[in-house]
Structure 1
Amino acid sequence: MIFSAVSHLQTPAELYSINKESVCVRIKTAKNDVLQVTIIHGDPYVWEQDSWQSSEKSMSLAGSDDLHDYWTVTLQLPHSRLRYGFILTSTDESVVYTERGFYQEKPKHVSPYFCLPYLHENEIFSPPSWVKDTVWYQIFPERFSNGDPSINPDNVLPWGSEEPQVDSFFGGDLQGVINHLDHLSDLGINGIYFTPIFKAFSNHKYDTIDYMQIDPQFGDEQTLIKLVQECHKRGIRVMLDAVFNHSGYYFEPFQDVLKNGEDSRYRDWFHPHAYPLDPHAQKPNYETFAFVGMMPKLNTANPEVKDYLLQVARYWIETFDIDGWRLDVANEVDHDFWRDFRRTVKETKEDVYILGEIWHQSTPWLVGDQFDAVMNYPLTDAIQDFVLREETVESFTQSITRHLFSYPQPVNQVQFNLLDSHDTARVLTESNGNKNHVMLQYLMLFSFPGSPCIYYGDEIGMAGDNDPGCRACMIWDQNKQDTELFTFVKDLIQWRKELPTMGTYETIQFHESGVDDVLLYSTYSNDEVLLIAINRSQTAQSIVLPESFMDYTLIDHISGETLDKQTALEISKEHFRLVKKHLS
């Protein structure tokens, strides 16, 4: 047995609360090294005749990557506390693994075992329950629809009259969103994520001038109130975007520091290195987002700054009844600020969704005291590596397994899953115009745990390279829309709602397809199993069904056709199959 590969850490990914009476425990062993893992568990205070009383339960092999096997088990805790260890069995030996290392036999005393001292209900990671059932639609307000020309900026261009530039304006506004809510309801989404709407200089609004004011080119407070109310009538949640890492150049406190330098009362709101500030230098003499002088970094450790930004967080919830905050450049803001932010937001409205923009592994922010989720770009990369970049099936399953097991399941269920955004090339462009490959990516996105998001216009076949190309005007001329793609996305959203095995399930299992270009996996609910086959190749493929599916009558989810105890499954080129079996 490879002892050095055995790992269990009492981190949220490997020991987490499901509810006040149960926990999930995970452990890693070297790949293909251990045949069985059994957990030893018990209440540390239950003794009989000077002997600690424990029970044993087999753990399930839940997945593997290139280095490790992942084992998992759920335990009930009658007294909210736990001591536990592991019996590891290979072909030639059996050992006991505890907090203090390896033993040949179970320690008789409780001290060496791993310890969960007490499961405090207020420390259970509890993201809003509605998020895991939400399909988001991201709107870049300046480019969605011009609903009120009377508030157009002076330099506005006719809608869609030219390709977008970094400094162009087309007049999109909040009234334009209200005018097209029927389009979103028809599609089936039930959440809208808006990029910033606060007063700012740019078209993207990530350079805030006033955190307490809607940008005049987007509308006023009454328009936003109406928009949120109309969304809520349709069962659509609303999430706003805030930039607390940095302000804009024209933010009044920063202008005061530019003017008064070291004598400014706002000098400690920022991170100056010298005076006078030089915003035009290649590397400004103050902290910024990247080296962008127009985006000075805020000092969120300053009590005045913190109080001001927490007022912002409360104001938009209390005044407009929003349902979520997406937080820009969230990984560059200090953790103490985010802890106070969470307390403030959850006290204001308990089920507000807090989403951080972080592109990398994000465990430090997802332990229950800061964010509910992050933008799940690692999933984006894995999906596109498989469908578009010919990553092997084995490599894909390994990377996805590693990623899923790096977070507790309650986090995975509410992660913000996406294929593109205002910060990336559009999925159709990334797919070199191959619509079939776009569909395969969307199917995968919707079938993995998390809350999927559609970037505006993707559903009707809009293309566009990286910023500014991905920020073109929404196409409202139906003669120029891809109605086939719209119908597919609409169907996909409906499948997500009607199939408990699409996205909100507890278990996923990967299978050998026997074909290099076919990814095969199954997802499970209490009474149903869904088998998903993805064929990325340009030729039709026939795969052998997993043995566990051969003795069942299967149903093709799309056609409704009954497949009576087949041994193989045919998949068209660049296409997929969804077949399900009922367990009850």
Structure 2
Amino acid sequence: MRRLAVLLALVPVLLLTAPAAPGPARFADNPIVYFVVTDRFFNGDPANDNAYGRTREAKPEDDVGTFHGGDLKGLAAKLKEGWFRELGVNAIWITAPYEQIHGWVIGGNKAFKHYAYHGYYALDYTVLDKAMGTPDELRELVDTAHAQGIRILFDVVMNHPGYLDLQTAREVGLRVLWPGSEKATLANYHSFIDYNNFAFTDWWGRDWVRAGLPSYLDGGRDEFTKQLAFLPDFRTESTAHVKLPKFLRDKPDTRARDLRDTPVRGYLVAWLTQWVREYGIDGFRADTVKHVEPAAWAELKTAATKALAEWKKANPDKKIDDEPFWMVGEDWGKGPQRDPLHDSGFDALINFDFQNAALRDAQPEKLYARYASLLGGRPGYNTLSYLSSHDTELFDRKRLADGAAWLMLAPGGVQIYYGDETRRLPGTAPSSDPQQATRSDMNWGNVDASLLVHWRKLGQFRRKHVALARGAHQRLADKPYTFSRIDAVSGDRVVVAMEASDAEHIVVGDVFPEGSTVRDAYSGNTAIVRQGRVQFPTTQHWVLLETP
């Protein structure tokens, strides 16, 4: 019954707006973030597809965890085409582009070869992964985005580096493998690793990570010290000063250097913020936030804020504005409410509540009213709501037009997941790792053109009106469902009608002056406010109104 009710809940939209406030709103008040798994988006340079000898698999079910070719040059190409600008986004969150482990580990209960295409298995935080591109290509990406008023956000991980895979172990000279590891399969992978070998000390080492290996500490039992998914856990809580791990010290192309009187946390902060200082990266999306001490995130935010200010001072012609560094955290299960983590460096947290509500509820009034009560005005924090995610599921592909409206009209910040605007279908995935299906290749050859137009109009409209993100919310009518949002800070105001039908009389109350003209940005039609109402003789389901 729940699914039936949801499928029946069509939500045509009518939006009425007063003149936009002078100048653009602050990014922190109205973030519209496009999240892209870079490797799965667009291949700008096929020459880097097999970096480090990585290969693809012939069968789709075996190929889910390989690198597929998307890169920084591909993102820049789509920026130049106007893909992101036309969607109205003002930030692009990209998967971590720094160097990942070179080989594969076992994925999905021995179902597939799992490479680090997603950026969560870091090897060297100081250099780009060759599959992502070159320093010049990263610089071009950032500069191209900034010229369009679009920020670039890095996905970053401070909780753990990557696993030690067989290929990387061979390449960095760790003497912990039995002969024949080049021929390892999913079935016998671990039999080639001598887990009792004290040569593991030449990897990250006891001072840097918990790993349960010879001479290493075991993972703890609390959230901060346990090994998440058996990954080595950085000792970010330690105050002991450390030197570079041997493998990294001997790595020919690393930019990592010993830092004086610096603990593990200090190295990670220095490495991550160097990308900000050199390239003008505008923000971080922090992974696995609850597994790292809040003080570490606060330190990262302080250092990154300083680094971005330095970059802007050195590059005044390339910056978007003088807003400070922005940081959003992934703390699994959090909703839109304020959290102590907002006082530890985070401007926003990922909102895990929205997707379930949008799938479950027939109308968004209860959700919108709650979110606006929390996020309206300038409460000093924000949230980032999404329809689809790489870690949960893709939103119902049959309801993406409705879902787009729910998301793009929601209070707070919003995140568009790549392919929701084109109706990208889920890919193949083993039952033991269903999230792999959410990371399929972008469907450039099969774009749903009408859905794309819909997303673009909603996105552009949202970007113009901070009232949608920060305005006070008031329901004006039940049928069609109509509400207003008015932002007291800027004076911006909107009226939205959902499930509007032909020639509908839309209640606007006293939000707009009697006799004023509003224009439908969707069709170009105009109407005049009469007795607190407007009427549009149109057969369109979706109507966006603004003052001409």
Task: Report if TM-score (shorter chain) is over 0.5.
Answer: yes
Name the amino acid aligned to 1:199.
Answer: E
- 2:400 is paired with a residue of what secondary structure? helix
Give 1:371 shift: 1.2
Match of 1:389 among 356, 360, 372: 360
Greater C-alpha radius of gyration: 1
Which residue does 2:413 correspond to in 1? Answer: 451
Shift of 1:447: 2.5
Q: Which residue of 2 aligns with 1:116?
A: none
Taking the TM superposition and a 5 Å limit, the aligned residue runs for 1:240-251 are: 240-250=154-164
Note if contact 2:471-2:493 (Cα within 8 Å) is conserved in structure 1. no
Distance 1:297 1:520, change over 3 A: farther
**1:459 is paired with a residue of what secondary structure?**
coil
Aligned to 2:331: 358
Show the 5 A alignment for 1:154-173: 154=53, 156-157=55-56, 162=60, 165-173=63-71
Per-residue CA deviation, residues 274-302 of structure 1 (Å, 9 max, x unaligned), is: 747799x9x9xx96554x22x22211112
Q: Residues 327 and 356 of structure 1 are in contact (CA less than 8 Å); yes or no, is this contact kept in structure 2?
A: yes
Q: CA deviation at 1:581?
A: 8.5
Deviation of 1:548 after TM superposition, in Å, equals 4.7
2-side partners of 1:164 and 1:235: how far apart? 40
The code of the aligned residue for 2:360 comes to R
Cα distance in 2 for partners of 1:321, 1:562 equals 46
Deviation at 1:194, TM superposition (A): 0.2
- Does the 8 Å CA contact 1:418/1:454 hold for their aligned counterparts? yes
- Measured after TM superposition, the shift of residue 389 of structure 1 is 2.2
Q: Find the residue that maps to 1:532 and give its secondary structure.
A: strand
2:41 pairs with 144, 147, 150, which one?
Answer: 144
Higher strand proportion: 1
Aligned equivalent of 1:200, options 91, 100, 112 = 100
In structure 1, what is the equivalent of residue 153 of structure 2? Answer: 239
1:393, CA displacement in angstroms? Answer: 5.8
1:400 aligns with 2:371: yes
Q: Which residue of 1 aligns with 2:456?
A: 490
Check whether the contact 1:534–1:577 (CA below 8 A) recurs between aligned residues.
no
Query: For residue 449 of structure 2, what is the amino acid of its counterpart?
Result: T
How many angstroms apart in 2 are the aligned matches of 1:129 and 1:335? 26
TM-score w.r.t. length of structure 2: 0.67
Aligned with 2:205 (options 266, 272, 285): 266
Distance 1:289 1:548, change over 3 A: farther
Correspondence for 2:389 among 421, 441, 455: 421
- Specify the alignment match of 1:410 in structure 2: 380
Which of 404, 413, 426 in structure 2 is aligned with 1:464?
A: 426
CA distance in 2, matches of 1:551, 1:230: 41
Q: 2-side partners of 1:262 and 1:564: how far apart? A: 77
1:7-156 to structure 2, matched below 5 A, reads 129-153=26-50, 154=53, 156=55
Matched with 2:496 is 532
Distance 1:342 1:528, change over 3 A: closer
**Distance of aligned partners of 1:347 and 1:492 in 2 relative to their CA distance in 1, 3 Å threshold:** same
> Contact 1:137/1:189 (CA < 8 Å) preserved in 2?
yes
Judge conservation of contact 1:556–1:563 (CA < 8 Å) in 2.
no
Aligned to 1:305: 264
CA distance in 2 between counterparts of 1:467 and 1:301 reads 31
SS at match of 1:565: coil
Q: Alpha-carbon deviations, 1:302-354, whole Å to 9, x = none?
A: 23211210111221111222111111011221012122212211222241111
The code of the aligned residue for 1:316 comes to W
Deviation of residue 131 (structure 1)?
Answer: 3.3
* Cα distance in structure 2, aligned partners of 1:256 and 1:375: 41
Q: Normalising by the residue count of structure 1, what TM-score does the alignment of the two structures yield?
A: 0.63
Distance 1:245 1:524 in 2: 41
Unaligned residue ranges in structure 1 (runs of 5+) = 1-127
- Determine the C-alpha separation between the residues in 1 that align with 2:509 and 2:88: 36
What is the alpha-carbon distance in structure 2 between the residues aligned to residue 549 and residue 347 of structure 1?
42
SS of the residue 1:212 aligns to: strand
- Partner of 1:375, secondary structure, is strand
What amino acid is the match of 1:545?
A: V
Amino acid at match of 1:423: D
Question: Counterpart of 2:472 in structure 1: which amino acid?
Answer: T
- Give the number of aligned pairs: 426
- Give the Cα separation in 1 of the matches to 2:537 and 2:435: 36
- Could you report, residue by residue, the CA deviation over 1:223-278 in whole angstroms, capped at 9, with x for unpaired residues? 2122222222333211111111111113989x799653897783132235674779
User: Is the contact between residue 502 and residue 523 of structure 1 (CA under 8 Å) also seen in structure 2?
Assistant: yes
Cα offset for 1:186?
3.8
1:93 aligns with none
Q: Deviations over 1:73-131 (max 9, x none)?
A: xxxxxxxxxxxxxxxxxxxxxxxxxxxxxxxxxxxxxxxxxxxxxxxxxxxxxxx9433
> Is the Cα–Cα contact under 8 Å of residues 261 and 276 in structure 1 kept in the other structure?
no
Structure-2 residue corresponding to 1:220: 134
Q: For residue 185 of structure 1, what is the aligned residue in structure 2?
A: 85
What is the letter of the counterpart of residue 331 of structure 2? Answer: I
How many percent of aligned residue pairs carry the same amino acid? 23
- Shift in Å at residue 158 of structure 1? 9.7
The answer to whether the 8 Å contact 1:313/1:344 transfers is: no
Q: Which amino acid aligns with 1:411?
A: Y
Note the alpha carbon deviations across 1:48-92, whole angstroms, 9 max, x for none: xxxxxxxxxxxxxxxxxxxxxxxxxxxxxxxxxxxxxxxxxxxxx
**Aligned: 1:440 with 2:405:** no
Partner of 2:526, secondary structure, is coil
2:198, 2:214 within 8 Å by CA — same for their partners in 1? Answer: no
Alpha-carbon separation, structure 1, partners of 2:539 and 2:237 = 55
Q: Tell me by how many angstroms 1:193 deviates.
A: 0.7
**How far is 1:215 from its partner?**
1.1
Q: Tell me the distance in 1 between the aligned counterparts of 2:302 and 2:39.
A: 32
CA contact (8 A) 1:529 1:580 kept: no
Structure 2 letter corresponding to 1:167: G
Opposite residue 235 of structure 2, the aligned amino acid is N
The amino acid that maps onto 2:94 is F
Aligned partner of 1:194: which letter?
I
Name the CA distance, whole Å, in 2 between partners of 1:424 and 1:209: 26
Tell me if the contact between 1:535 and 1:574 (Cα under 8 Å) persists in the aligned partners.
Answer: no
Segments of 5+ residues of structure 2 without an aligned counterpart are: 1-24, 102-115, 177-194, 240-262, 310-323, 428-433
Name the SS for the 2:444 alignment partner. Answer: coil
Q: Against the structure 1 CA distance between its residues 175 and 396, is the aligned structure 2 distance closer, same or farther, given a 3 Å change threshold? A: closer
Q: Distance in 2 between matches of 1:223 and 1:358?
A: 31
**Separation of aligned partners in 2, 1:551 and 1:187:** 30
AA at the equivalent of 1:260: F
CA distance in 2, matches of 1:416, 1:439: 19
- Give RMSD over aligned pairs: 4.0
Change (3 A) 1:450 1:164: farther
For the residue of structure 2 that corresponds to 1:240, the secondary structure is strand
